[in-house]
Amino acid sequence: MKTMSAKDAKNGFGRLIDIARAEPVTIEKHGRAVVVVMSVEEHARLCKEQESRLKPEERPDE
């Protein structure tokens, strides 16, 4: 996973998007990880994986 400072993410937002489409990017502020930016596809994959681990009664209604 790539890491970027908040300043670099702000100043290079287009680059951040390009990188995040390929792999998640951790954004750091004052040397501490604060957020992760990822592609829509990766987010959907993680949500589906998490939902598949839930019991049927715990799954959200569709």
Would you identify the CATH topology of the domain 2-55? YefM-like fold (3.40.1620)
Listing DSSP states for the chain in one string gives -EEEEHHHHHHTHHHHHHHHHHS-EEEEETTEEEEEE--HHHHHHHHHHHHHHS-GGGSPP-
Per-residue pLDDT 10s for the chain (62 aa) are 999 999 999 999 999 999 999 999 999 999 999 999 999 999 999 999 998 888 777 767 75
Query: In the chain, what are the domain boundaries?
Result: 2-55
pTM for the full model? 0.80
